[in-house]
């Protein structure tokens, strides 16, 4: 049961990361007008999409009992969180050319930032739990009753 829940959490995290890549990182408001900001995926070269695909494969391997796949899943969670915090977070409040041209331009995080943050945290938690609880989660070998 716990193995399946961890697999579902990891795959949900992969889905959140993949969806976030095609949404906006921020939105810029100029008085009453809201403009789209930078796209999440284009901001960091679609790195989270690659992490999501690799994580899905590792999650399936970890679900089948592979300890190295469980550790790789945790490492990919760390990598996703680094992309979110080190690359995307500093630019969430960037107004770009709008800030240069309009004094009242303000920027705030959009749905893409929240999706990628939730996906990265969920992937990290699922990866760490799978790696730590790995030996107790391995599927049991069928016994030969003779």
Minimum mean pLDDT range among 88-92, 94-98, 106-110: 94-98
- Residue-range domain boundaries for the chain: 2-23+40-94+110-136
Say if residue 101's pLDDT is above 60. yes
Let me know: does 77 contact 14? Beta carbons within 8 Å: no
Average pLDDT, integer, range 20-42: 84
Instruction: Name the pTM for this structure.
Output: 0.85
Let me know: does 90 contact 65? Beta carbons within 8 Å: no
Give the model confidence (pLDDT) of 43-90 as tens digits: 888 999 999 999 999 999 999 988 999 999 999 999 999 999 999 998
H or E element: which one contains 11?
A: helix 2-20
The pLDDT assigned to 36 comes to: 75
Average pLDDT, integer, range 111-122: 96
What is the DSSP secondary structure assignment for residue 24, as one 8-state letter? B
Say if residue 102's pLDDT is above 80. no
With CA atoms as reference, report the closest residue to 39 among 55, 54, 53, 19. 19
The pLDDT assigned to 59 comes to: 95
Distance CA 102, CA 43 (A): 23
Let me know: does 11 contact 56? Beta carbons within 8 Å: yes
Per the model's pLDDT, the better-predicted residue between 13 and 45 turns out to be: 13
- Order across the sheet with 105-109: list the strands: 33-36, 26-30, 105-109
């Amino acid at each position: 049961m716990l193995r399946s829940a961890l697999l579902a959490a990891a795959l949900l995290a992969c889905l959140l990361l993949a969806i976030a890549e095609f949404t906006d990182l921020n939105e810029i408001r100029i008085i009453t007008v809201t403009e789209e900001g930078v796209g999440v995926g284009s901001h960091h070269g679609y790195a989270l999409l690659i992490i999501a695909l690799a994580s899905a494969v590792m999650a399936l391997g970890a679900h089948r009992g592979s300890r190295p796949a469980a550790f790789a899943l945790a490492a990919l969670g760390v990598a996703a969180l680094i992309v979110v915090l080190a690359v995307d977070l500093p630019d969430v409040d960037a107004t770009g050319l709008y800030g240069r041209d309009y004094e009242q331009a303000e920027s705030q995080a959009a749905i893409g930032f929240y999706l990628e943050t939730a996906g990265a945290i969920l992937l990290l938690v699922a990866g760490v739990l799978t790696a730590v609880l790995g030996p107790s989660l391995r599927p049991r070998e069928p016994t030969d009753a003779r």
